């Protein structure tokens, strides 16, 4: 089982890494990170803070965009090229296919996050900024957030078209960043039905603000490893549930 999952993951990784559009997105992300140095020059002795804030924002935003770009076409490309009809009759379980594809995409995103974060760290080093462990924690949580959004993209791609999958995944990302505000809004809503709807939506959506500690990094506030561990565990649990649902939906599709 593990061998089949890794084989699918390896093939997905090679396919994704050859995508030219992917390199274009990474290029723009690096340019955005480097341009934070220019914006920093416009501030009054706040160059490092601007670089950290802008750099982490670019890392998160472009990371999620890349995850959506790769993840939404996960199944559609296989169906469009009819390779799915060759794979399904073979002794490959459908959950192995979904999991293998997901692991391959996450591996690709891991490499890209390392590249983009390396540029950010090198840029900060050029300003004689000492290594900040909180910044490394922020990058780790950003990667967990990207993993969560990748699982959401895989979920929608298991039953929908790339356009709709991308639209829905982007919507989940936006609302996920507002999940905390949605929960706060329920206290101000007098309509009982709307109150339950908002509560339901806020519970179903991933609370992406748990992974956003950019403000604490900028102001050099302490973030404990226990918080990072708790948030990461929450993200991994959410990923597991979403991939399980994706597998159940994928099992209902007829490719034979």
Q: In the chain, pLDDT over 90 holds for what percent of residues?
A: 14
Instruction: Answer yes or no: is 189 within a domain.
Output: yes
CB proximity list for 125: less than 8 A, separation 6 or greater: none
**Among the ranges 38-42, 78-82, 161-165, which has the highest mean pLDDT value?**
161-165
Q: What pLDDT does 32 receive?
A: 76
Q: What pLDDT does 229 receive?
A: 92
Domain count, the chain: 1
Q: What is the mean pLDDT of the chain?
A: 79
Inform me whether the pLDDT recorded for 46 exceeds 90: no
Instruction: Answer yes or no: is 214 within a domain.
Output: yes
Instruction: Answer yes or no: is 31 within a domain.
Output: yes
**Among the ranges 41-45, 73-77, 138-142, 222-226, which has the highest mean pLDDT value?**
138-142
Inform me whether the pLDDT recorded for 101 exceeds 90: no
Largest CA distance in the chain: 64
pTM here is 0.86
Instruction: Answer yes or no: is 152 within a domain.
Output: yes
Q: How confident is the model at residue 181 (pLDDT cuts 50, 70, 90)?
A: low
For residues 237 and 240, give the distance between their C-alpha atoms in angstroms, rounded to a whole number.
Answer: 5
φ/ψ region of 220 (left if φ > 0, alpha if ψ in -120 to 50, else beta) reads left
For residues 207 and 231, give the distance between their C-alpha atoms in angstroms, rounded to a whole number.
Answer: 10
Q: Read off the pLDDT of residues 200-248 as tens digits, 9 standing for 90 and up.
A: 666 788 888 889 888 887 777 788 889 999 999 999 999 999 999 988 8
Secondary structure percentages of the chain, helix, strand, coil, to 5:
80, 0, 20
Instruction: Answer yes or no: is 93 within a domain.
Output: yes
Instruction: Answer yes or no: is 68 within a domain.
Output: yes
44/170: higher pLDDT = 170
- What is the DSSP annotation of 129-177? PPP-HHHHHHHHHHHHHHHHHHHHHHHHHTTS-HHHHHHHHHHHHHHHH
Inform me whether the pLDDT recorded for 255 exceeds 60: no
Q: How confident is the model at residue 35 (pLDDT cuts 50, 70, 90)?
A: confident
Residue span of the structural domain in which 62 resides: 2-251
Q: In the chain, pLDDT over 70 holds for what percent of residues?
A: 78
Instruction: Answer yes or no: is 256 within a domain.
Output: no
Report CA 199 to chain centroid distance, whole Å: 24
Inform me whether the pLDDT recorded for 26 exceeds 70: yes
């Amino acid at each position: 089982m593990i061998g089949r999952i890794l084989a699918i993951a390896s093939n997905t990784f090679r396919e994704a890494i050859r995508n030219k559009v992917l390199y274009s997105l990474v290029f723009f992300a690096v340019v955005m990170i480097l341009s934070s140095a220019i914006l920093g020059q416009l501030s009054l002795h706040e160059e490092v803070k601007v670089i950290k804030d802008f750099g982490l924002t670019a890392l998160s935003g472009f990371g999620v965009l890349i995850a959506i770009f790769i993840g939404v076409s996960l199944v559609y490309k296989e169906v469009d090229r009819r390779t799915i009809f060759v794979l399904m009759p073979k002794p490959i379980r459908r959950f192995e296919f979904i999991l293998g594809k997901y692991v391959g995409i996450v591996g690709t995103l891991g490499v890209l996050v390392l590249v983009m974060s390396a540029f950010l760290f090198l840029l900060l080093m050029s300003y004689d900024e000492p290594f900040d462990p909180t910044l490394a924690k922020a990058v780790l949580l950003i990667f967990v957030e990207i993993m969560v959004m990748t699982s959401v993209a895989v979920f929608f791609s298991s039953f929908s078209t790339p356009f709709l999958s991308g639209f829905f995944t982007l919507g989940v990302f936006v609302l996920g960043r507002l999940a905390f505000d949605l929960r706060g809004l329920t206290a101000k809503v007098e309509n009982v039905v709307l109150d339950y709807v908002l509560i339901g939506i806020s519970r179903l959506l991933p609370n992406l603000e748990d992974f956003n500690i950019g403000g604490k990094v900028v102001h050099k506030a302490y973030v404990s490893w226990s918080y990072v561990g708790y948030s990461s565990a929450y993200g991994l649990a959410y990923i597991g549930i979403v991939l399980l649902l994706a597998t159940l939906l994928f099992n209902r599709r007829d490719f034979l």
